[in-house]
Amino acid sequence: MLPAYIANPTAVVFGGGTPIDLGKKWKDGRRIFGGGKTFRGLLGGTACGIVLGLLQMQVTSLHFLGTFTFISIITLSFGALLGDMTKSFFKRRLGYERGAKFPLVDQLDFVAGAWILTYVFDTAWFSDNFLAYPWIMVTVILFTPLLHRLTNIIGYYAKLKKEPW
Ligand code: CTP
Ligand code: MG
């Protein structure tokens, strides 16, 4: 999960500049994704996730970290931010402003994105590393909201994030 876990907060650090929706609106008159989803965040976050995954691949002696495939590193990192972006799309459709609180969805969007993209593009790796260990998946779902909240509180006080959620 580490590439996905690092992609999310580094998107906040690198974020800013041109929004992915280029400021355009959907049919409902609201932004497609909103100003909180930028190219810099998407690319910076994905790149950081990939770098961490490649580093993890090097420490093969630490078997508890598991082994990666190149595809899984990319899909975990990019999928995390794709999930976050998909979440924003639906938040806007539901009328939530950028940054509005959406409990549990805000915390698990990136897990869903990372898992779905990895399942689609590297089913064998996903089966061996997640589906084969349902307790790992349950642990991730239970602990991610806590971890996410803690990270965002730190990000808020470090003045990197506008909201502590
Ligand atoms: N960010 C970014 N690009 C991304 C993801 C995040 O630039 N692809 C940056 C933005 O500055 C964003 C901040 O990280 O404001 C926090 O991300 P997040 O909480 O996901 O976005 P919100 O601003 O809360 O917007 P939304 O309501 O759409 O979730
Ligand atoms: Mg937010």
Q: For 81-131, what is each residue's pLDDT tens digit?
A: 999 999 999 999 999 999 999 999 999 999 999 999 999 999 999 999 999
Q: Is the CB of 81 under 6 A from ligand 1?
A: yes
| Structure token digits, residue 118 | 């990895």
Residue among 10, 12, 38, 107 to mutate when testing ligand 1 (max atoms within 8 A of CB) = 12
DSSP-derived letter for residue 63 is G
Ligand 1 atom nearest the C-alpha of 34 is 28
Percent of the chain whose pLDDT exceeds 70: 96
**What b/e string do you get for 9-21 counting C-beta neighbours within 10 Å, with b at 16 or more?**
bbbbbbbeeebbb
The predicted pLDDT at position 62 comes to: 62
What average pLDDT score do residues 120-148 get? 97
Helix, strand, or coil here: 38? strand
State pTM to two decimals: 0.94
- Cβ(78)–Cβ(45) below 8 Å: no
Alpha-helix residue ranges (DSSP H) falling in the chain: 2-14, 39-58, 70-93, 105-121, 123-126, 134-157
